[in-house]
Chain A
Amino acid sequence: DAKTTQPTSMDCAEGRAANLPCNHSTISGNEYVYWYRQIHSQGPQYIIHGLKNNETNEMASLIITEDRKSSTLILPHATLRDTAVYYCIGHSSGANNLFFGTGTRLTVIP
C-alpha cells in the first residue's frame, strides 16, 4: 500500500469547510484512496473512498488530483463533532491490511 503524508494537525472554524490534504505520490494504479476518522477512544469510522474520480457522500467530498498523487477530503460545514484524527490510506484490492499512519488531528473551533 502507498505511503501517505498528512499534516499533523489543523484547525477549522465551526460552520466553515474543512479541507484536509493528503499526499500519496507513490500510489499505484489499483490502489484506492480511503479516508477514515477516529474520535477519541472510539473505533475508526469510514468516511469515503475513491480511485480516480471525485466522490461525494453524505459525510464528505473527496477530490483526487488527475495524477492521483494527492487528494483532499472536504467536510463542507464542520461541526464540533467533526473533531477527530483523520486518516488517509492507500489500499489495494486484495490487500487485507489497512495501514493507518499518524493522520491529521482536526480541531473544530467554536
Chain B
Amino acid sequence: SQTIHQWPATLVQPVGSPLSLECTVEGTSNPNLYWYRQAAGRGLQLLFYSVGIGQISSEVPQNLSASRPQDRQFILSSKKLLLSDSGFYLCAWSVSPWETQYFGPGTRLLVL
C-alpha cells in the first residue's frame, strides 16, 4: 500500500532563516505531488504541484519554492522565512491530476 511521509512534524524558526521541508511517497511510481498550506482555522491553499521529476508548477507568488529531485520526493524550501510563512504545511499525492489526493501528516511551522 502507499504511504506518504513528511518531516519534520513541527518546526520553530526565526524570521530570515532558511527552510527545507521534505515529503516522500512510498508504494507508487510517478505520483502527482502537491504542497498545500493551511493557515489557522482556514482552508487549504495549493502552493505547488508536480507531475514529474523536475517539473514544478507554482500556484501563488510567494517566498517559497519547491523541488522534486527524485520521483517520490518533494521538497519545500525558502531562503529567508517571513512571519507570514507560519502555518500547517501539507504534502499530498495522487495517481493522476484528476484522481483522489491523499495527504501526509503535515508539518507545523512557526516563524518567530
A residues adjacent to B (C-beta < 8 A): 34, 36, 41-46, 49, 87, 92-103
Listed in ascending order, the chain B residues whose CB lies under 8 Å from chain A are 6, 32, 34, 38, 42-44, 46, 49, 57, 59, 88, 90, 92, 97-98, 100-106, 108
Tell me what chain B mostly uses at the interface: helix, strand, loop, or mixed: strand
* B contact residues around A43 at 8 Å (CB): 6, 90, 92, 103-106
- The answer on a CB contact under 8 Å between A102 and B97 is no
Cβ of A98: which chain B residues have Cβ within 8 Å of it?
A: 44, 46, 101
For the A-B complex, the count of residue pairs with Cβ-Cβ distances under 8 Å equals 52
Nearest CB in chain B: distance from A1 CB, A = 11
Query: Are A93 and B108 in contact, with the CB atoms below 8 A?
Result: no
| Chain A CB within 10 Å, residue with most, of B44, B49, B103 | B44
Q: Report yes or no: A44 in contact with B90, Cβ–Cβ below 8 A.
A: yes
Residue numbers in A under 8 Å from B104 (CB-CB): 43
